């Protein structure tokens, strides 16, 4: 009986299916002509003994990153002028978040599970730096979500994942032109009967390339020289423009 108890968890764990995920591109280069890209997340579900279960399994894919602190400010109209009324600082706000699933999230897991794995825009944990009223926090997060949705930085599609014969899956995630650079994580969740059976991830690098990369590195590594060069170029261009208009 003791031996059975020791090996029981191992047997249950080994019986769970396994995910083999991949992405169409591990690195996305942003150049002057970059207008956005569509990233394909695909893979396979490996079941023990290669026998498909009777219950239907669902897939959720998430592309998220880079996580960074952000300050949100609320504007109010005072005496006909828009001014900053209040603000809140969030520690872990993603610069981009996209989620796709084979069915709506609320049909796959309960609210607690969705919150634990941050499945869905409503379940993102942004960690405010200081205590604030729940209504204020919800208002600011709703405003941020609405803004990022309109910019294409937040994306949610409950029918983005296609599952073929219960084994192969694929989903297309749009990456907008103004996406921030950094390291992204493409996560895949296998869900059945309201339980997350397996999780797998791949990293994706979004980086600047060409002249844009040169300018970004110069600003980061040589800030003083970069600023001085920008001022000098502005003065020269302004002088050249004024000289041309004087001749006319």
- pLDDT tens per residue across span 206-248: 987 755 555 555 556 666 666 777 777 777 777 777 777 776 6
Q: 8 in a domain, yes or no?
A: no
Q: Shortest CA distance to 61 belongs to which of 95, 92, 98?
A: 98
Q: 4 in a domain, yes or no?
A: no
Per-residue confidence (pLDDT) for residue 38, from 0 to 100: 94
Secondary-structure breakdown of the chain: helix, strand, coil percentages, each rounded to the nearest 5: 35, 40, 25
- Stated pTM of the model: 0.77
Per-residue confidence (pLDDT) for residue 173, from 0 to 100: 96
Beta strand pairing call for 195-208 and 27-30: parallel
CATH of the domain at 22: 2.60.40.1930
- 179-212 tens-digit pLDDT: 999 999 999 999 999 999 999 999 999 987 755 5
Say if residue 237 is in the same domain as residue 188.
no
Non-local (6+) Cβ contacts of 183 within 8 A are: 65, 66, 203, 204, 205
Q: State how far the Cα of 157 lies from the Cα of 173, in Å rounded to an integer.
A: 9
| Mean pLDDT value across the chain | 84
CA distances for 125 relative to 97, 135, 137, 203, angstroms: 12, 15, 11, 20
Say if residue 157 is in the same domain as residue 184.
yes
**Could you tell me the residue range of the domain that residue 216 belongs to?**
210-247
Q: 7 in a domain, yes or no?
A: no
């Amino acid at each position: 009986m003791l031996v059975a108890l020791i090996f029981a968890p191992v047997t249950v764990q080994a019986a769970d299916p396994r995910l083999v995920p991949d992405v169409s591109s591990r690195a996305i280069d942003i150049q002057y002509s970059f207008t956005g890209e569509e990233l394909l997340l695909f893979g396979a579900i490996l079941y023990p003994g290669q026998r498909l279960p009777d219950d239907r399994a669902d897939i959720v894919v998430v592309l998220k990153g880079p996580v960074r602190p952000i300050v949100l400010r609320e504007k109010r109209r005072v005496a006909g002028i828009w001014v900053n009324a209040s603000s809140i600082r969030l520690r872990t706000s993603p610069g981009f978040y996209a989620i796709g699933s084979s069915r709506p999230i609320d049909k796959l897991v309960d609210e607690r599970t969705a919150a634990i794995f941050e499945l869905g825009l409503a379940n993102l944990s942004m960690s405010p730096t200081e205590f604030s009223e729940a209504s204020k926090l919800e208002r600011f997060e709703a405003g941020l979500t609405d803004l990022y949705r309109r910019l294409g930085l937040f994306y949610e599609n409950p029918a983005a994942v296609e599952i073929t014969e219960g084994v192969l899956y694929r989903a297309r995630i749009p990456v907008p032109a103004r996406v921030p650079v950094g390291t992204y994580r493409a996560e895949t969740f296998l869900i059945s009967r309201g339980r997350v059976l397996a999780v797998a991830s791949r990293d994706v690098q979004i980086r600047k390339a060409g002249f844009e990369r040169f300018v970004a590195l110069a600003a980061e590594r040589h800030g003083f020289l970069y600023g001085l060069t920008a001022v000098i170029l502005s003065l020269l261009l302004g002088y050249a423009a004024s000289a041309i208009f004087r001749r006319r």
